[in-house]
Amino acid sequence: MSFFRCPLCGAPLAEEDRALRCPGGHAFDRAKEGYVNLLPVHQKHSKAPGDDKGMAAARRAFLEKGWYFPLREALCRIAAEETGPAPAVLDAGCGEGYYTAGVREALLAAGKAPVIAGIDISKFSLQKAAKKYPDIEFAVASAYRLPVAAGKADLLLNVFSPLALEEFRRVLKPGGVYLYVVPAAYHLWELKEVLYEKPYLNEEKETPYEGFAYLDILPVSYSIHLPSQEDIHALFQMTPYYWKTGREGAERLAGLESLDCRVDFRVHVFRRA
């Protein structure tokens, strides 16, 4: 049985002939890479929503060099500490699967038997995720309409993805844990200094959400040295700044041969009431 539910009628989905099918007769073919598309046409706001092929490739190239490994380690540690022996884990906005796969490996290493799934609205990200991590179930879907049964998840990850609180409350079991990763004040400050004449600090705040209780806010802050223009451009292309930066700022960044840059995250840890 699939982790996911039918996005059209909400019924359970089962694997049959490289497709997921529900008792109501709805079927969703599995792509050659292994993911399924559970985003109905009427929920799309564009032909190919989410990160494009270039952004997905840049993120894969950047993350595989380990620049954000300390963040992954922090998520893995919390996941191992806060879950039971057979947790159901959903990564809502999984991208190319870097953090999803890390958490799975950590839970297995802790002797647990996790069931892991990831959704993202970008098919280009999921092409990479499903191909590299065949033991994880991936689906194109919106975080605002998760194709997941109520109370299904013991752990929900949200790394730089939309804050779909109503859906997160619905799919998390009572007592389940929600990990919400956001950029802190000085995240990528030196990159922003190159791109913009007057860069601004990211806002930091502690926001209580209905149905969730705060357990912790974990800082993950350190510096990285990007030794090549290739690495600098990969970081730039995987961020929203790539689409928001004017030509002059982009040209200044393209002229750099290396960059020392702060990385500054906050992991907000909640428990579902």
Once rounded to an integer, what is the mean pLDDT over residues 28-54? 83
Q: Report DSSP state, residue 188.
A: T
Give the C-alpha separation, 144 to 151, whole Å.
16
Asked if 187 and 240 touch (Cβ cutoff 8 Å), the reply is: no
Which among 270, 130, 147, 267 has a CA at the least distance from the CA of 204?
Answer: 267
Residues 6 or more apart in contact with residue 143 via CB below 8 angstroms = 92, 93, 119, 121, 158, 161, 162, 164, 167
Question: Which residue's entry shows tokens 């929503």?
Answer: 49
Q: How many residues does the chain have?
A: 273
Structure tokens that stand for 116 in this block: 């892991």
Question: Residue 51's pLDDT band (boundaries 50, 70, 90)?
Answer: confident
Give me the half-sphere count of Cα atoms (radius 13 Å) on the Cβ side of residue 234. Answer: 20
Question: Residue 46's pLDDT band (boundaries 50, 70, 90)?
Answer: low
Residue 8 forms part of a structural domain: no
Question: Residue 138's pLDDT band (boundaries 50, 70, 90)?
Answer: very high
Residue 97 forms part of a structural domain: yes
Range of the domain at 134: 14-272
Residue 11 reports pLDDT greater than 90: yes
Question: Residue 44's pLDDT band (boundaries 50, 70, 90)?
Answer: low
pLDDT (tens digit per residue) in 214-247: 999 999 999 999 999 999 999 999 999 998 899 9
Q: What pTM was estimated for this model as a whole?
A: 0.95
Residue 4 forms part of a structural domain: no
Structure tokens that stand for 29 in this block: 């073919």
- Domain of residue 210, CATH code: 3.40.50.150
b or e along 202-216 (b: 16 or more beta carbons within 10 Å of the residue's beta carbon)? eeeeeeebeebeeee
Once rounded to an integer, what is the mean pLDDT over residues 48-77? 93
Give me the number of domains the chain comprises: 1
Share of the chain above pLDDT 70, in %: 97
Asked if 219 and 184 touch (Cβ cutoff 8 Å), the reply is: yes
pLDDT at 41: 75
Residue 38 forms part of a structural domain: yes
pLDDT (tens digit per residue) in 150-161: 999 999 999 999
pLDDT at 48: 61
The DSSP bridge pattern shows strands 88-92 and 115-120 to be parallel
Residue 126 forms part of a structural domain: yes
Asked if 179 and 156 touch (Cβ cutoff 8 Å), the reply is: yes
Q: Report DSSP state, residue 134.
A: T
Q: Where are the alpha helices (DSSP H) in the chain?
A: 53-63, 69-82, 98-109, 123-132, 165-171, 189-195, 229-237, 241-244, 247-254
Give the C-alpha separation, 119 to 95, whole Å.
8
Give the C-alpha separation, 268 to 266, whole Å.
6
Residue 51 forms part of a structural domain: yes
pLDDT at 49: 65
Beta bridge partners of 177: 155, 271
pLDDT at 40: 87
The secondary structure element, H or E, covering residue 179 is strand 172-183
Least confident of 35-44, 82-91, 175-184, 189-198: 35-44
Residue 2 forms part of a structural domain: no
pLDDT at 47: 61
Residue 9 forms part of a structural domain: no
